[in-house]
Structure 1
Amino acid sequence: MGRCWKITAVVAGTAAVAAVAAWPAAATGTATGTAPSGPARNGWRLVDEEGFDRPPRVDGAPWRLDPQGPRSPWNVDAFDDDGEAWKKISGPLFARRLATLNVFRKRVAFGRNGWLTAEVAAVDKDRDGRPDSRPGLSAKTLPDGRKVGRISEPSWDAGVLIRPTRPLPRHYRVEMTLRGIDFGGKRNGTFDYKGRHNGYTKEPCKTRYPWTFQGALPGRKRCDYPDVTRENGFYYMTILDYATPAPHGNPGIHFRRKVIMDGYYSDDARWKNAGTCDPRTGRIYRTFDGTFNGVNALFPRGDLFRETANNNISNEYYIKTRCGNVSMDKPYGPGNRFEGHLTSAEIRPELLPEAAYRFAVERDRTGYTLEMSGPFRNIGQATLRVHHDFIENGRPIWHYNQTPEEYDGRFDRRLVHKGPAGTYTTEHAWPKGSAYPDSFIIGDPHLNYYEGEAYVDDIRLYVPADGG
């Protein structure tokens, strides 16, 4: 992992070149730590770990104004914060909306040899030259003396995530231990607790402005945009298809995920028919009858997109659980009253930090495995694992190939993204000759959604013990 190199990634038809070798030197902070000493995993050899025994020195790092545009260090592609896609589907209105705010950022390497990077961002809505909130990553000592990393996001108009400084190797296991989570969901049967609703403080005008899947909304001002406080969440361990993930407006990430393990805590009416798996019995129960603390384990499909009247900037998903498998574009099956989404299990936040949950993703020669361990509702302490081949029954995982040689171009297609002012066309969503590095994220990658704090620990990276 000490080797430095350049990665060329074709993301949604746009080439994004990241000079990975330059990141540690350019980032703020000191790369410290000792050799890995964490537990062995069957068939895997530990190569990097972070236990937060030393402060990551993120909160004291200076803020930097994101200049936006193709020269920005945080530029990704046409679906970026100020990307060409939004300009096409929204016309001049989107540019006017975006001009009402600034985005300030931090990019800080930490851990042994700087193997991890914290990406922190916050919106400056009044353009006074300062971010409106103070999100960050710091070290915290739990009552039992354990050191953890505290992801703090006191306002929804900000984002904090942890990613690897360099793309992940060809085959790997990456894992994280969760020691605390307060990003919404119910507690003691209600969304209202600690003076908050669903994890959000109760100030007015918490909206998804200016980024929506439809682009800018004609005739609506900031506070007229849809409210976000019914939707909170956290990414436990998710793999994206480009090298430098950072918080952005929420639509863009839906086009960049390879595999997903996240929590999405929403009582929005569109989930009224969704189901949650009881891993103990193998039966599905109504999500609205649960605690809204479910974990989603999703495989984005590379052959199927959400074709709606306004956009298709999102893949459909394939879900594997102990209650069976489902593709989200279809009902669960004959006689089943649930449809749409299927959550794999529910965590119990009240048991933390005395208990813990471990989330892991493995990429081997055949595909991806999602793993979650901990004291889940209904079943108690358990380890849940699901595997999906890169291509399984003709169904591919989106952008699975890290090199051009791993993919022959068979799932390439043209996508038309519609908006109120026009359309943007992705001519080649997955062309032959493309390559997509793996990079994990932990935290909140959204600049206009999610609010709360979480305690994370023991981030570890393994490679095959046999060198494969």
Structure 2
Amino acid sequence: MRTNWKAAVAAAGAAATVAAVAAWPAGSASGAAGAGPKGWILLDHEGFDEPLRVDAAKWRLDPQGPRSPWHVDAFDDDGEAWKRISGPLFDKQLATLNVFRKRVAFGHKGWLTAEVAAVDKDRDGRPDSRPGLSTARLPHGQKAARLSEPSWDAGVLIRPTRPLPRHYRVEMTLRGIEFGGKRHGTFDYNGRHNGYTREPCKTRFPWTFQGALPGASRCDYPNVTRENGFYYMTILDYATPAPHGNPGIHYRRKAIMDGYYSDDERWKNAGTCNPKTGRIYRTFDGTFNGVNALFPRGDLFREAANNNISNEYYIKSACGNVSMDKPYGPGGKFQGHLTSAELQPHLLPKAAYRFAVERDRTGYTLEMSGPFLHTGQTTLRVHHDFVENGRPIWHYNQTPGEYDGRFDRRLLHKGPAGTYTTGHSWPKGSAYPDSFIIGDPHLNYYEGSAYIDDIRLYVPRR
């Protein structure tokens, strides 16, 4: 597992504000944008007032393999796990495409990094689409960043250049979102379906949880256009997140706030919380613009559905607490995601939504603020201890001393051609730095655009 993070651990291990600030560049924008939330000091801030130069950066061919700057582990784009469970078919299918990337630091002394990737399906030496991150001006004159992903076979995300401090609050402001969901009661609008343009053959190829699909060509793979989404603010367990094939990220998340807009049949019994009444209603009866606030469990995996490549989730909301492996709600009538609240995209950019994650000495807090459906302007907060009632948050420890190895286990990942074994999923002596992502980390899912305003990083007051 990922334990080679000496520099990250040093940066993340400071217990006091002074040490946390020292892990970041001298002269950070502390206090530059006014007072922060009570108990927090502003360490860095990006308001997108200066032009972004991401789109002008040159594309780089990802060489793949362990020497790639974007390599992660066995669940990487060309990882050993997929090869083992798929046999030679996976390599054959992966060889039909290239991946081009950009990695561009920006913000005050480069404290943020844009990771942009696009697939070259015909291997002509150029990416097939032009995803990017650029400066935009909102209707009232304020500047923001436009995250643009015109094709599903690409990804764009924003992350911190360095791992986050031991204790922190990180937040972002959303000013616009067009990554699917319903508008005016329908998934079909602006010539698109669920935010996707209507060209054929938009599939998961070649990355699935089961590995390569025998006898299936690119267009025979499952269609993705019923599933769109966006990561508002999510914490991962390694230092350099970038867009990859869809399954890999499901093994790397510590705390999640995302949107998943899908009318797929498997979500027909999922529920959505009405924060005003505390009652759950059927997601299919809503607008499909919900926010999922999820804590990945370190003791339970989605063995049947995702081949032990995805954690199960624990959800806390104004409608109660839910473990997604069990039915919930009155009479146990709901199953799957319990969505915490629904956005109202038509109110943007005049209105805004703020998403924040806090890590303190006890655990993680997820916070969302804005004019949610049913409630109007409100702030919703939920907290989960690192280990709560025997239930751990996956890979919560930034240093070896924060964890004693009690949740380590052997995991089997079975596919059509073989089995890959993770001998130690969470060993004693491991360490996992925190890094946030905003955007789309998938190379074979999601399509659309979003407007992002302030991104702010705080550390605790002493």
| Aligned match of 1:345 | 341
| Aligned match of 1:447 | 443
| Contact 1:299/1:317, CA 8 A, preserved across alignment | yes
Question: Are positions 1:381 and 2:377 aligned together?
Answer: yes
Query: Which residue among 12, 32, 37 is the counterpart of 2:32?
Result: 37
TM-score when normalising by structure 1:
0.93
| Aligned match of 2:91 | 95
| Aligned match of 1:261 | 257
Mapped partners of 1:64, 1:276: distance in 2: 42
1:281 is matched by which residue type in structure 2?
A: T
| Aligned match of 1:248 | 244
Query: Which residue among 274, 279, 283 is the counterpart of 2:279?
Result: 283
**Cα distance change of structure 1 residues 52 and 286 upon mapping to structure 2, 3 Å threshold:** same
Question: Are positions 1:463 and 2:459 aligned together?
Answer: yes
| Contact 1:101/1:124, CA 8 A, preserved across alignment | yes
**Cα distance change of structure 1 residues 171 and 272 upon mapping to structure 2, 3 Å threshold:** same
Instruction: Specify every segment of 5 or more residues in structure 1 that has no aligned partner in the other structure, as ranges.
Output: 1-12, 22-31
| Aligned match of 2:182 | 186
| Contact 2:2/2:432, CA 8 A, preserved across alignment | no
Query: Which residue among 362, 365, 372 is the counterpart of 2:361?
Result: 365
Query: Which residue among 382, 399, 406 is the counterpart of 2:395?
Result: 399
| Contact 1:214/1:418, CA 8 A, preserved across alignment | yes
Q: Summarize the alignment of residues 61-460 of structure 1 with structure 2, pairs less than 5 Å apart.
A: 61-308=57-304, 311-332=307-328, 335-460=331-456
For residue 364 of structure 1, report the CA deviation from its aligned partner: 0.2
For residue 336 of structure 1, report the CA deviation from its aligned partner: 3.2
Mapped partners of 1:132, 1:398: distance in 2: 36
| Contact 1:186/1:292, CA 8 A, preserved across alignment | yes
For residue 222 of structure 1, report the CA deviation from its aligned partner: 0.3
| Contact 2:234/2:255, CA 8 A, preserved across alignment | yes
Mapped partners of 1:50, 1:309: distance in 2: 39
| Aligned match of 1:46 | 42
For residue 339 of structure 1, report the CA deviation from its aligned partner: 1.7
| Contact 2:64/2:71, CA 8 A, preserved across alignment | yes
- RMSD over aligned CA atoms reads 1.6
Mapped partners of 1:220, 1:78: distance in 2: 23
For residue 335 of structure 1, report the CA deviation from its aligned partner: 1.2
For residue 311 of structure 1, report the CA deviation from its aligned partner: 1.0
Q: Which stretches of structure 1, 4 residues or longer, exceed 6 Å deviation after superposition?
A: 18-21
The one-character-per-residue Cα deviations of 1:144-181 (angstroms, maximum 9, x if unpaired) are 11000000000000000000000000000000000000
> More displaced, 251-260 or 34-43?
34-43
| Contact 1:233/1:264, CA 8 A, preserved across alignment | yes
For residue 341 of structure 1, report the CA deviation from its aligned partner: 1.6
| Contact 1:254/1:314, CA 8 A, preserved across alignment | yes
- Percent identity between matched residues is 83
| Aligned match of 1:4 | none
**Cα distance change of structure 1 residues 378 and 161 upon mapping to structure 2, 3 Å threshold:** same
1:285 match: secondary structure: strand
1:53 is matched by which residue type in structure 2?
A: D
> More displaced, 299-308 or 325-334?
325-334
| Contact 2:30/2:41, CA 8 A, preserved across alignment | no
| Aligned match of 1:9 | none
Mapped partners of 2:305, 2:275: distance in 1: 36
Instruction: Specify every segment of 5 or more residues in structure 2 that has no aligned partner in the other structure, as ranges.
Output: 10-26
> More displaced, 120-129 or 327-336?
327-336
TM-score when normalising by structure 2:
0.94
Mapped partners of 2:330, 2:175: distance in 1: 40
For residue 333 of structure 1, report the CA deviation from its aligned partner: 5.1
| Contact 1:18/1:243, CA 8 A, preserved across alignment | no
For residue 36 of structure 1, report the CA deviation from its aligned partner: 4.8
**Cα distance change of structure 1 residues 450 and 148 upon mapping to structure 2, 3 Å threshold:** same
Mapped partners of 2:44, 2:63: distance in 1: 33
Corresponding pairs, count: 445
1:420 match: secondary structure: coil
For residue 340 of structure 1, report the CA deviation from its aligned partner: 1.9
